[in-house]
């Protein structure tokens, strides 16, 4: 009897202690400052004592309520540095043009030209570079890229931890899917690319671009006022606390700053703990341009439901697409297994989290969501919150999701080293789409563009060796684009002007088009021949070292024309949720003088001293080609 009493008392004591611990843990988690890049309520603990996760480097415990920034205060918590900050308006004023617009960095692409695209008889024989998106073959009502005829085109879900890098995880996941979908010799079990490399070079200066054209384009995190106790700068790891959007990925990856395999210093050592996250990831990754693959295209379309067929065909082509969602806890159901954001007719805020879409189910019940959407159907998505969130790291997103309707869906086309379009050189003058100010607030980070223009624009390059021009590419914010592209050798500029009447050495002319917006690469081949058969038999344009070549793009219809605006500014201060200074953005974008835009009198292409256009040119070494079939 005595033993039973003691045992009962012991069990009671254990239960009371367990209950107290549960209450304590629950209260502590309620007080924990959530990472706004995750938006997943309680942050999962991974093999690190909870107090250690939230310990400051000073040794202080997590301050709890009032000791950390609120959600709205994180990011640009400072009131600015003593250094002069050049605002977006000041940059526009500096551009000295009435037809310039400033766009939120979470750019929503336009498809206003759809009707004109299909009605244009002059382009009826031009095959869009992304023509697979227009196929009319029947689509299945359900698709899962993890099991496509017994093949898996999806890598395992990863965990972004306390980092703000959902954008990098989503993009890398989609890139891995495209590689798997289009390279049968690569297995999902052996493919793991680096998010760290991508995030690091988002805010670090690089050198080694072809011709040095990009070497003076950079953005870095700085401590302009030498604020004390800015310990993160001792490790140069503020980049892990920089939230982002697809614009960053397009800028970095089409510049060939990655992707690389995740190994050695290209892998994160820690993803949890306010101290570990910054201190343990101090090792610099491999070189910026040490790419194991090349991203050649990033296709973008609007995410609203009328584009569902188009999005499905993008997934079938690439294995996955990326999308932005609102991951506020109230929109989730079933432990992050289903998501539906609905704002009852109010203004829809921009997304706060990036994910990838790997499939769909047209019959997924509307009853599975936190509130009932207008109908059944959902996208099958891959998250970056580890394999304990949702259904082993995956979840469903309603077709009717409000946030998705204002977002841009993106798919990546990737070349492996064995592919014919894995080019040797990437000529480029524009480094970044976005001027950064905040690590979290999209409304403070800006993209610049001409509002509506059909004027020709161009970039001039000088060949750095004897090489062959194999392709060119450019960025567009408009779907259903149609263009005329021309390439001239050894065009002459006088006082920053190219006289259109003196452009004589036309070596290539072609009509080109794309269904999707984004960045597209156009190979220089027979393609769409011109009336004089100028392009017949061409597989590249031979260049000698020192030759200049001018790539001219002529839009058929008025559209937005995005560019990198020259800037030299330092943003207000950014802090993480533990009040650690992560830094001010120093945006240093210099105009190369190699970008040209049609003059008002339409007689010249004028060099731009305040901007650069996103026109790239790709060359290979050591090939002998012919500019005309007659030369063969």
Q: What is the pLDDT of residues 234-258, one digit of tens each?
A: 999 999 999 999 999 999 999 999 9
Classify strands 394-398 and 338-339 as parallel, antiparallel or unpaired: parallel
Q: Give the per-residue pLDDT at 95.
A: 78
Higher pLDDT, 500 or 69: 500
> Does 44 reside within a domain?
no
| 416, 431: one domain | no
pLDDT tens track for 85-114: 566 667 777 776 778 999 989 899 999 999
Query: Which of 372, 393, 422 marks a domain boundary?
Result: 422
* Range name among 17-26, 133-142, 247-256 with the lowest pLDDT average: 17-26
**Interacting residues of 301 by C-beta distance below 8 A, sequence separation 6+:** 109, 111, 307, 310, 311, 314, 408, 409, 479, 515, 516, 517
Q: How big is the chain, counted in residues?
A: 632
Higher pLDDT, 108 or 26: 108
pLDDT at 23 over 80: no
Q: Give the per-residue pLDDT at 573.
A: 96
| 139, 23: one domain | no
Q: Give the per-residue pLDDT at 60.
A: 32
> Does 336 reside within a domain?
yes
- Give the Cα-Cα-Cα angle 370, 333, 380 (nearest 5 degrees): 100
Residue 626: exposed, middle, or buried by beta-carbon count in 10 A (0-12, 13-18, 19+)?
Answer: middle
Q: How far apart are CA 567 and CA 573, in angstroms?
A: 18
The H or E element spanning position 435 is: strand 434-435
| 502, 586: one domain | yes
pLDDT at 5 over 70: no
Q: Give the per-residue pLDDT at 73.
A: 42
**Please, what is the average pLDDT of the chain?**
86
Query: Which of 368, 397, 422 marks a domain boundary?
Result: 422
> Does 517 reside within a domain?
yes
Q: Give the per-residue pLDDT at 504.
A: 85
Q: Give the per-residue pLDDT at 76.
A: 54
CATH code of the domain covering residue 391: 3.90.70.10
| 402, 316: one domain | yes
pLDDT band for 369, please (50, 70, 90 cuts). very high
> Does 63 reside within a domain?
no
pLDDT tens track for 586-631: 999 999 999 999 999 999 999 999 999 999 999 999 754 434 333 3
pLDDT at 53 over 80: no
The Cβ-side half-sphere exposure at 39, using a 13 Å CA radius, reads 22
**Over residues 312-320, mean pLDDT:** 98
> Does 109 reside within a domain?
no
| 247, 159: one domain | yes
Q: Give the per-residue pLDDT at 87.
A: 67
| 247, 375: one domain | yes
pLDDT band for 525, please (50, 70, 90 cuts). confident
Residue 144: exposed, middle, or buried by beta-carbon count in 10 A (0-12, 13-18, 19+)?
Answer: middle
pLDDT at 167 over 90: yes
| 173, 321: one domain | yes
pLDDT tens track for 388-432: 999 999 999 999 999 999 999 999 999 999 999 999 999 999 999
Higher pLDDT, 66 or 140: 140
User: pLDDT over 90 for what percent of the chain?
Assistant: 78
> Does 174 reside within a domain?
yes
b/e map 557-582, b = 16+ CB within 10 Å: bebbbbbbbbbebbbbbbbbbbbbbb
436 within 8 A of 420, measured Cβ to Cβ: no
**Over residues 214-233, mean pLDDT:** 96
185 within 8 A of 558, measured Cβ to Cβ: no
Q: Give the per-residue pLDDT at 539.
A: 82
| 440, 379: one domain | no
**Over residues 148-159, mean pLDDT:** 97
> Does 624 reside within a domain?
yes
pLDDT band for 22, please (50, 70, 90 cuts). very low
User: pLDDT over 70 for what percent of the chain?
Assistant: 82
Nearest to 143 by CA among 11, 409, 321, 331: 321
| 500, 531: one domain | yes
pLDDT tens track for 535-587: 445 689 999 999 999 999 999 999 999 999 999 999 999 999 899 999 999 99
Which of helix, strand or coil describes residue 94?
Answer: helix
* Range name among 427-431, 480-484, 529-533 with the lowest pLDDT average: 529-533
Q: Give the per-residue pLDDT at 40.
A: 39
Q: How far apart are CA 322 and CA 247, in angstroms?
A: 12
| 298, 405: one domain | yes
Domain that holds residue 189: 129-202+242-422
| 405, 431: one domain | no
pLDDT at 326 over 90: yes
pLDDT at 48 over 70: no
Total domains, the chain? 3
> Does 76 reside within a domain?
no
**Interacting residues of 1 by C-beta distance below 8 A, sequence separation 6+:** none
Q: Mark out the alpha helices in 272-419 (DSSP H runs).
A: 276-279, 308-318, 402-405
Token reading at 219: 């953005």
* Range name among 31-35, 355-359, 551-555 with the lowest pLDDT average: 31-35
| 94, 182: one domain | no
427 within 8 A of 210, measured Cβ to Cβ: yes
Q: Give the per-residue pLDDT at 437.
A: 94
**Interacting residues of 69 by C-beta distance below 8 A, sequence separation 6+:** 33, 77, 575, 577, 579
Q: Give the per-residue pLDDT at 69.
A: 39
Q: How far apart are CA 424 and CA 415, in angstroms?
A: 12
Nearest to 335 by CA among 264, 394, 286, 402: 394
Q: Give the per-residue pLDDT at 139.
A: 98
pLDDT at 115 over 60: yes
Query: Which of 367, 399, 422 marks a domain boundary?
Result: 422
């Amino acid at each position: 009897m005595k033993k039973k009493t003691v045992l009962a008392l012991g069990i009671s004591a254990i239960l009371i202690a367990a209950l107290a611990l549960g209450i304590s843990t629950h209260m502590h988690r309620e007080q924990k400052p959530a990472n706004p890049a995750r938006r997943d309520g309680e942050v999962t603990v991974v093999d690190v004592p909870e107090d250690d996760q939230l310990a400051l480097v000073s040794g202080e415990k997590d301050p709890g309520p009032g000791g950390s920034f609120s959600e709205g205060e994180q990011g640009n918590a400072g009131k600015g540095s003593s250094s002069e900050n050049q605002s977006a308006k000041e940059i526009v004023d500096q551009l000295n043009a009435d037809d310039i617009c400033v766009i939120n960095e979470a750019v929503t692409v336009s498809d206003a030209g759809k009707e004109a695209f299909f009605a244009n008889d002059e382009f009826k024989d031009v095959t869009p570079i992304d023509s697979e998106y227009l196929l009319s073959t029947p689509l299945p009502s359900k698709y899962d890229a993890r099991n496509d005829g017994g093949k898996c085109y999806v890598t395992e879900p990863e965990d972004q931890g306390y980092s703000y890098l959902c954008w990098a995880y989503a993009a890398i996941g989609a890139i891995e899917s495209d590689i798997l979908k289009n390279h049968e010799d690569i297995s999902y079990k052996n493919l793991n690319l680096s998010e760290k490399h991508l995030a690091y070079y988002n805010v670090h200066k690089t050198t080694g671009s072809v011709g040095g054209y990009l070497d003076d384009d950079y953005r870095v995190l700085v401590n302009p006022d030498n604020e004390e106790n800015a310990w993160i700068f001792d490790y140069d790891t503020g980049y892990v606390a920089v939230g982002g959007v697809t614009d960053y990925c397009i800028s970095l990856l089409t510049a060939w700053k990655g992707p690389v395999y995740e190994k050695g210093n290209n892998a994160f050592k820690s993803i949890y703990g306010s101290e570990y996250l910054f201190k343990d990831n101090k090792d610099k990754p491999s070189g910026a341009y040490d790419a194991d693959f090349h991203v050649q295209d990033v296709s973008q379309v609007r995410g609203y439901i009328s584009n569902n067929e188009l999005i499905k065909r993008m997934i079938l082509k690439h294995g996955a697409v990326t999308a932005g969602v609102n991951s506020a806890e109230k929109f989730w159901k079933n432990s992050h297994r289903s998501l539906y954001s609905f704002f009852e007719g109010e203004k829809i805020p921009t997304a706060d989290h990036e994910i990838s879409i790997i499939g769909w189910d047209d019959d997924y019940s509307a009853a599975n969501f936190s509130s009932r959407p207008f109908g059944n159907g959902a996208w099958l998505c891959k998250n970056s919150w580890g394999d304990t969130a949702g259904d082993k790291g995956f979840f469903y997103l309603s077709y009717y999701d409000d946030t998705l309707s204002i977002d841009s869906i993106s798919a990546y086309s990737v070349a492996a080293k064995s592919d014919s379009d894995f080019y040797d050189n990437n000529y480029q003058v524009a480094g970044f789409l976005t001027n950064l100010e905040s690590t979290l607030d999209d409304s403070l980070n800006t993209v610049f563009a001409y509002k509506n223009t059909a004027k020709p624009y161009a970039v001039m390059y000088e060949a750095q060796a004897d090489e062959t021009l194999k392709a060119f590419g450019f960025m567009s914010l408009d779907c259903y684009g149609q263009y005329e592209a021309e390439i001239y050798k050894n065009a002459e500029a006088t006082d920053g002007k190219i006289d259109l009447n003196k452009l004589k050495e036309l070596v290539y002319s072609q009509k080109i088009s794309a269904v999707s917006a984004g960045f597209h690469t156009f190979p220089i081949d027979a393609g769409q021949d011109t009336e004089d058969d100028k392009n017949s038999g061409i597989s590249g344009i031979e260049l000698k070292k020192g030759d200049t070549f001018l790539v001219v793009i002529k839009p058929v219809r008025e559209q937005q024309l995005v560019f990198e605006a020259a800037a030299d500014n330092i943003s207000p201060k950014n802090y993480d949720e533990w009040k650690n200074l992560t830094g001010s953005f120093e945006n240093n974008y210099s105009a190369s003088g190699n970008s040209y835009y049609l003059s008002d009198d339409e007689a010249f292409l004028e060099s731009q001293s305040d901007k650069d256009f996103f026109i790239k040119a790709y060359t290979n070494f050591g090939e002998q080609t012919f500019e005309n079939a007659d030369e063969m």
